[in-house]
Amino acid sequence: MSTEVTFAYQYGFGNHFATEALPGALPIGQNNPQTCAYGLYAEQVSGTAFTAPRSDNQRTWLYRVRPSVDHGAYRSVPFAERAPGLGYRGQVVTPERLRWRPRDEADRTLTGAQCTDFLRGLFRIGESGHPENRDGLAIYTYWCNASMSQEAFYDADGDLLVVPQQGALIFQTELGFLAVPPGHFVVIPRGIRFAVRLAGTSGTLSSRGFVLEVYNRHFELPYLGPIGANGCASPRDFRYPVAAFDQGTDATPFQVWCKFQNELFAYETTHSVFDVVAWHGNYAPFAYDLMRFCPVNAVRFDHMDPSIFTVLTCRSHEPGVALADLVVFPPRWSVQEHTFRPPYFHRNCMTEFMMNLAGEYDAKSASGFPPGASSLHAIMSAHGPDRDSYDSATREELLPRRLPDTNMAAMFETSRMLRITKEALDWLPLDRNYTACWSGFPASSSLPTV
């Protein structure tokens, strides 16, 4: 089977879309006709309070083969049965600088299963806050080598932003399909049911990557301030699915798994929940190719803060302060004169979860931070270039230098303090020697003697 999967899309961040898989399925001029075309059922999914300001308000109308209400009772599911890594709770408080090598095949044993799909392969690294208060976030890695079938998952706790680092994923959602290869990411908003497939035959392929879950607001494009109306992520590059529905026959059991208040639940239906024939609205999953990001940076001297590379932000209650940002470090030209060009030494009032998605990252030696590796720098914990990067960047001849197209790193940056899961420290491949990359910087050499 080909791993190149293409779907039809519609484009534009936050647009009000209208799409139908059958002609005339979408009512014209109203949401709730007395009866819908084809005998479809109309259903609204609200992504914001009914009364949210118009500029924030998100909702979508679905026209489906059966109403979503038609399902069995919710049952509580032990994590071990379906998603062990959702049961790993942030318990460990540490300001220590942490780094993990890439997850790999060996991780399969962590889940106790030969076939690990996306849900089973989710592994919580850290968290802050509670879905109950609709405030906070969690960070995960995933590794999977199997597709979900005859089932779906939804997250009642918040939005999920998924960044595959290796191995393409296909998201079948109630609103349609999104193919998400490495270097792209997808956002599945709260409550939208979806299944994750590998782009090929299960068993021969795998995928790994990272996930950010936010419990309060939805993701937005950042303000561009003096940059102006263009640059960074352009709204038109965000792609949304078109309506697509399963023709499934009745009486085929279908499971829906649900994360609700950090617990796992399930219900059964007799049919696929991917039965939306048409929809219109602005509450929908979307994907983005990070190579479309148009970087803006210093073109004469000095190192800009990485906020210039913000792709999406999820605002906190404090103006200008993100609950979480997605930041990309894209391929680009590095041209600054008389400047230490890689990331500077710093201590930050935000938590930084770094992910190397491809190639090399300019603040770390390639062997210590290969593609698939991640690191966590807690609030006010000192970090920055390792010794090797420092040495070469202080000596390099400052010609214009191209950070190649094979490089891509990303960061989840949050104003919250995370609690780390014990499992992330004990079971993920933690680099126990990480902080040694900063030891042995010689004292400044030319102090005057007093």
Residues making up the annotated binding site for Fe cation are 352, 383
Residue number of the CB atom closest to ligand OMD: 343
Distances in whole angstroms, Cα of residue 87 to Cα of each of 256, 261, 317? 18, 12, 28
Binding residues for ligand OMD restricted to 276-305, rule: CB under 6 A: 305
**Adjacency order of strands within the sheet including 176-180:** 75-76, 263-269, 254-260, 151-155, 194-198, 169-173, 176-180
Q: Which is nearer to ligand OMD, 156 or 382 (CB)?
A: 382
Q: In sequence order, which residues have a C-beta less than 8 Å from that of residue 25 and are 6 or more positions away?
A: 36, 37, 38, 40, 63, 243, 277, 278
Collapsed DSSP state (helix, strand, coil) of residue 368:
coil
The Cα 344–Cα 341 span in angstroms is: 8
Q: In sequence order, which residues have a C-beta less than 8 Å from that of residue 331 and are 6 or more positions away?
A: 291, 402, 403, 404, 405, 406, 407, 408
Kindly state the smallest distance separating residue 211's Cβ from ligand OMD, in Å.
Answer: 19
Which residue is catalytic, options 16, 303, 317, 338?
Answer: 303
State yes or no: residue 62 binds ligand OMD (CB under 6 A). Answer: no
Alpha-carbon radius of gyration of the chain: 23
Q: Which two tokens stand for residue 364?
A: 């770390």
Kindly state the smallest distance separating residue 346's Cβ from Fe ion, in Å.
Answer: 6
303 given a catalytic annotation: yes
Q: In sequence order, which residues have a C-beta less than 8 Å from that of residue 123 and are 6 or more positions away?
A: 85, 88, 103, 107, 110, 140, 141, 142, 143, 423, 424, 427, 428
Kindly state the smallest distance separating residue 200's Cβ from ligand OMD, in Å.
Answer: 34
Contacted by 65, from Fe ion, ligand OMD, none: CB < 5 to 8 Å by type: none
State yes or no: residue 363 binds ligand OMD (CB under 6 A). Answer: yes
Binding piece for ligand OMD, criterion CB under 6 A, among 21-29, 66-74, 102-110, 341-349: 341-349
Contacted by 155, from ligand OMD, Fe ion, none: CB < 5 to 8 Å by type: none
How buried is residue 306: exposed, middle or buried, by Cβ count under 10 Å (0-12/13-18/19+)? middle
Kindly state the smallest distance separating residue 298's Cβ from ligand OMD, in Å.
Answer: 11
Q: Which is nearer to ligand OMD, 58 or 389 (CB)?
A: 389
The Cα 136–Cα 122 span in angstroms is: 18
State yes or no: residue 423 binds ligand OMD (CB under 6 A). Answer: no
Contact 40, 53 (CB under 8 A): no
Contacted by 90, from ligand OMD, Fe ion, none: CB < 5 to 8 Å by type: none
Binding piece for ligand OMD, criterion CB under 6 A, among 25-33, 93-101, 128-136, 343-351: 343-351
State yes or no: residue 107 binds Fe ion (CB under 5 A). Answer: no
Q: In sequence order, which residues have a C-beta less than 8 Å from that of residue 385 and are 6 or more positions away?
A: 342, 343, 344, 345, 363, 364, 393
Binding piece for ligand OMD, criterion CB under 6 A, among 103-111, 120-128, 129-137, 348-356: 348-356
Q: Which of 247, 241, 249 is nearest to 20 (CA)?
A: 241
Contacted by 85, from ligand OMD, Fe ion, none: CB < 5 to 8 Å by type: none
Contact 48, 159 (CB under 8 A): no
Contacted by 306, from ligand OMD, Fe ion, none: CB < 5 to 8 Å by type: ligand OMD
State yes or no: residue 343 binds ligand OMD (CB under 6 A). Answer: yes
Work out which of 12, 87, 200, 306 binds ligand OMD, going by CB under 6 A.
Answer: 306
Kindly state the smallest distance separating residue 424's Cβ from ligand OMD, in Å.
Answer: 19
Q: Which is nearer to ligand OMD, 12 or 306 (CB)?
A: 306
Contact 347, 382 (CB under 8 A): yes
Contacted by 429, from Fe ion, ligand OMD, none: CB < 5 to 8 Å by type: none
**Residues comprising the chain, all counted:** 450
Annotated binding site: 346, 352, 361, 383
State yes or no: residue 413 binds Fe ion (CB under 5 A). Answer: no
State yes or no: residue 352 binds Fe ion (CB under 5 A). Answer: yes
Binding piece for Fe ion, criterion CB under 5 A, among 45-53, 79-87, 144-152, 351-359: 351-359
Q: Which two tokens stand for residue 443?
A: 């004292």
Work out which of 197, 315, 383, 416 binds ligand OMD, going by CB under 6 A.
Answer: 383
Kindly state the smallest distance separating residue 136's Cβ from Fe ion, in Å.
Answer: 21
Q: Which of 190, 213, 210 is nearest to 136 (CA)?
A: 213
Interface contacts to ligand OMD, rule CB under 6 A: 305-306, 343, 346, 348, 352, 354, 363, 383, 411
Interface contacts to Fe ion, rule CB under 5 A: 352
Annotated active-site positions, please?
303
